[in-house]
Amino acid sequence: MIATLQGVASPANGSLWTATTRPTVPSSSRPTADMTSTSPEDLIPRFKFERLLRQDQAGCRIVLLGTITSQPALLLAERAAFPSDSTHLTSFPTSLSHIKNLGDNDIYRWYLACTSPSSSSPPGADADALAQPHDLKINLIYPCTSSHVKKYSAQGVRLVTETAAIYAAHIRPYMRAKREEGRLNWVFNILEGRTEQEDVLFRSPPDTPNEERFLMLPDLNWDRKTVGSLHLLALVERRDIWSVRDLRKGMVGWLRTMRERLGEVVVGMYGERGVEGDMLKFYVHYQPTYYHFHIHVVHVGLEAGATQAVGKALSLENIIGQLETMAGGDEAGMADVDLSYTLGEASELWTEIYLPLKEGRKPTVP
């Protein structure tokens, strides 16, 4: 028997698990009359867990093996979509319990929380044993800017091709302007040891050559527990590389060294939990969220969402291969090629650069 469990909106706690069952066993071993007389709603509480078969979608879906009245059963559970009506959204922040801060830097903060109401523990109970597991990962940006609002709002998406000429004339000056606005202060705070040091998982030893120094942080979207959804960020300490556009043919050796070292560090940290070198993917974003070179390291089991999508992520191995076979000397590089990527229609890059170019107008930022 397979029971598929899915969540639906509930005023009490935001989700209510319901189930449907489908017989999948041969007719010779179908449930007995006693079992078929049981109502569907009564089956789920009678499920006896044996083992976890799979956890995916960044930990939001599980497949359990067990039994119901001594017959094998599979239970598939997946978190439901959030309710979108005003009543639920207004009360959502105050309905959360067991809020735990994971870290903060500048205007960014991230937490774990529970959506279910807090329940009182019986006298003498072990609080740790009865602790309710967190079922939400929350990011808070406060105070946020209009740019943040645009970035996170629902909007149309466009595919653009950034030529070498567009990069040199418009995108590079745009990057420079954003860096000079102080957009990287929070990155430099981490690199210089002023903030978020409790979240630094690894920092290169002092005797490491300056160009090879980096530190490793958990990505804001990782719950820091589920290995199958492992997502780390490696921030290089050198500041001359703003994005993939700054990578040149003469840097192939450096990139290979970084790729090897990153793999060694991650396996060193999570090898005891089953992570091996060929279970890791390395990529960079273009356009990146911020203009300081960083490399994403994720578990191969992490389902490819927007962060790994075509039009956003570039494989580090593919970048190395492209540079290695590129015509020209050591100064030839990614600044000389066309790069295609997606942009939201509310983003500055679209409204201030690509839309004017499309309409034959002059971009409003350089």
* Catalytic (active-site) positions: 294
Cα 68-118-75 angle, rounded to 5 deg: 20
- Of 204, 266, 259, nearest to 232 by C-alpha is 266
Buried b (16+ CB within 10 A) or exposed e, 187-212: beebbeeebbeebebbbbeeeeeeee
First to last CA, the chain: 63
The pair of structure tokens assigned to 298 is 């994720």
DSSP code for 290: S
Q: Is the peptide bond before 143 cis (omega within 30 degrees of 0)?
A: yes
- Of 181, 103, 190, 191, nearest to 147 by C-alpha is 181
DSSP code for 11: T
DSSP code for 74: E
The pair of structure tokens assigned to 180 is 């000079």
- Of 31, 41, 76, nearest to 56 by C-alpha is 76
> What is the enclosing helix (H) or strand (E) of 156?
none
Cα 216-307-275 angle, rounded to 5 deg: 50
Q: Quick check: 55 and 228 in contact, CB under 8 A?
A: yes
Q: What's the rounded Cα separation, in Å, for the pair 213 and 208?
A: 6
